[in-house]
Amino acid sequence: MRTHDVAFYSLFFFLAGILFASLNLNFLIIVFITVLLAALILTLHYFHPNPKIDFKKLSFLSLIIAIGALYYFWGSFQTQKNFSAPLDRKINFSSIVSGYPQRGTNQKIAVDLEAPYKGKILITLKPYPEFNYGDKLNFEGIIKKPEGSYANYLAKNEISAVSIYPKTSLIKTNQGSKIKSVLFSFKEKFVLALQKILPQEEAALASGLTLGERSEFSKNLKDAMSNSGTTHIVALSGYNITVIVSTVAFLFAFYFRKNIAFVMTLIIILGFVLMTGAEASVARAAIMGSVALLGKQIGRIYSFRNALGISAFLMVLQNPKILAFDIGFQLSFLALMGIAYLSPAIKNFFKMEKEITQWKEILISTASAQLAVLPILISSFGKFSLLSILANVLILWLIPFTMGVGFFTGFIGFFSYYLSLILGWFLHLFLYYELAVINFFGKIAMPLKISFGALGIIIYYALLISFIIYVKRKTRLQLNQTRRNFTT
């Protein structure tokens, strides 16, 4: 087994262990499953040997499942250990805002408790007065432990408890990281620059596309995007990273040596991830982009499979809860795998490999991504629009241009209002069309409402994987047959 295969299977089994532990399985049960799986794989070595697969080494690597589970339980223990505060009674406590506030109909801020208490909690407040990252606040209210799925949802952000509408007063400002403060300030000024030159809905969509900022979305816009199946376009993706990496790498190459330009590009990527709140999709794209840059830097071949595995591993290593409880994480990785693996299978199955048009490419990629995330969308949101693929085909071809022009327009707005106003006219045309598509399909949505249990999800993905394997083998057999015919 080659080194990169060992690395991939090691990451795969570690993540499997994290997933088993996330399902609240007893550690001894997970160990039993691990040993049983290792024994079954080893059995294949003796009864169904395959020269292409080292079953003995694979059997040994499968034991990493137990290590992954142990890491999850250790992380959960550390989270509980790091939280200490009286619950379900009114107390006074002080804390520092540790993340970018979520603003809308109310204000939600994640805070780090200060002595004599400790831990991270989520505070829900009225929209005004607004508080910012780094503000030191005093609260008088009740801290409660969340329950059920909401507790799991908060756990992915390492939040242990909540407090709703406590009495709040500001003590000090600028008590957080100076770097984060600068990045968040840049983000706010960027959004403000777009708001100065665009109508409200268009400025909100532009902010969502470029920085993932959705606080200014109206309820009508949120509903229209949900009904039309286009909410994912404001989830930061690889394109954002691509635009940034391409631009800064090009500029740095003129002024710095290769090694310095590489390090500075990585710093810019990290800054963008922190500024946008480190959402799963952008973190995944940032890690994969960094791996690609590193491969190019040291002269190694880029492996999509391993880059995807490393991205998931690093994110889960930082917070094991996101694998099972962060929908954004799941949708991001599944959509990307759909495009990477299901899309080629569909092309080969329908013999569309040659002379494929841009529209067909968008249609196949969109359908592949939608099929890959279908059970998660239905399980999480209870519906799936049958017209979402058509809506995405009509809108996705323009999104890259909109993002690129949006980035440039917002950045120019820091220096020249009038120049940004000129660029904003082109941006306005793109956004106007996209909003028209979103609103149209939001009104005529044909929601598909079915239920996916755990068994249904397993069967669904087993069928997708079987289809991909079937097409891949069929294509390989046809290729080998063509080669034999050619040689004879």
Amino acid in position 419: L
pLDDT tens track for 464-484: 989 988 888 888 877 777 766
**How much of the chain, in percent, has pLDDT values that exceed 70?**
86
* Confidence grade of residue 3 (pLDDT, cut at 50, 70, 90): confident
Give the sign of the dihedral formed by CA 363, CA 367, CA 370, CA 372: negative
Distance CA 368, CA 350 (A): 14
Give the contacts of 399 (CB within 8 A, at least 6 positions apart). 209, 233, 239, 434
Class of residue 102 by CB neighbours under 10 A (exposed 0-12, middle 13-18, buried 19+) = middle
Tell me: pLDDT of 358 over 70: no
pLDDT tens track for 74-96: 988 888 888 999 999 999 999 99
Q: How many CA atoms lie within 13 A of 379 on its CB side?
A: 18
Helices (H) and strands (E) in the chain, counts: 20, 9
Instruction: Tell me if 392 sits within 8 A of 366, measured CB to CB.
Output: yes
Instruction: Tell me if 280 sits within 8 A of 332, measured CB to CB.
Output: yes
Interval 356-372 mean pLDDT? 77
Q: Which two tokens stand for residue 356?
A: 């494929």
Q: Strand, helix or coil at 14?
A: helix
pLDDT tens track for 217-261: 888 888 888 888 787 777 665 555 666 666 677 677 777 777 787
User: What is the distance, to the nearest Å, from the Cα of residue 94 to the centroid of all Cα atoms in its chain?
Assistant: 32
β-partners of residue 92 are 140
Tell me: pLDDT of 139 over 90: yes
Interval 96-119 mean pLDDT? 88
Give the other-Cβ count within 10 Å of 89's Cβ: 7
Instruction: Tell me if 56 sits within 8 A of 38, measured CB to CB.
Output: no
What is the DSSP track for 230-264?
Answer: -GGGGS--HHHHHHHHHHHHHHHHHHS-HHHHHHH
274 vs 42, higher pLDDT: 42
Mean pLDDT over the full length of the chain: 82
Distance CA 170, CA 139 (A): 9
What is the DSSP track for 273-302?
Answer: HHHTT--HHHHHHHHHHHHHHHHHHHT---
**Distance set, CA 483 to CA 52, 152, 389 (Å):** 21, 54, 38
325 vs 52, higher pLDDT: 325
What is the DSSP track for 434-458?
Answer: HHHHHHHHHHS--EE-----HHHHH
Give the other-Cβ count within 10 Å of 19's Cβ: 18
Tell me: pLDDT of 398 over 80: yes
What's the pTM?
0.77
Distance CA 385, CA 226 (A): 9
Give the sign of the dihedral formed by CA 203, CA 208, CA 210, CA 212: positive
pLDDT of residue 142: 94
pLDDT tens track for 161-202: 999 999 999 999 988 888 888 888 888 888 899 999 999 999
Question: SS3 breakdown of the chain: % helix, strand, coil, rounded to 5?
Answer: 65, 10, 25
pLDDT of residue 235: 67
236 vs 71, higher pLDDT: 71
Distance CA 172, CA 175 (A): 7
Amino acid in position 110: A
DSSP structural state of residue 93: E
Give the sign of the dihedral formed by CA 93, CA 97, CA 98, CA 100: positive
In what helix (H) or strand (E) does residue 349 lie, and over which residues does it extend?
helix 343-349
pLDDT of residue 381: 67
pLDDT of residue 289: 66
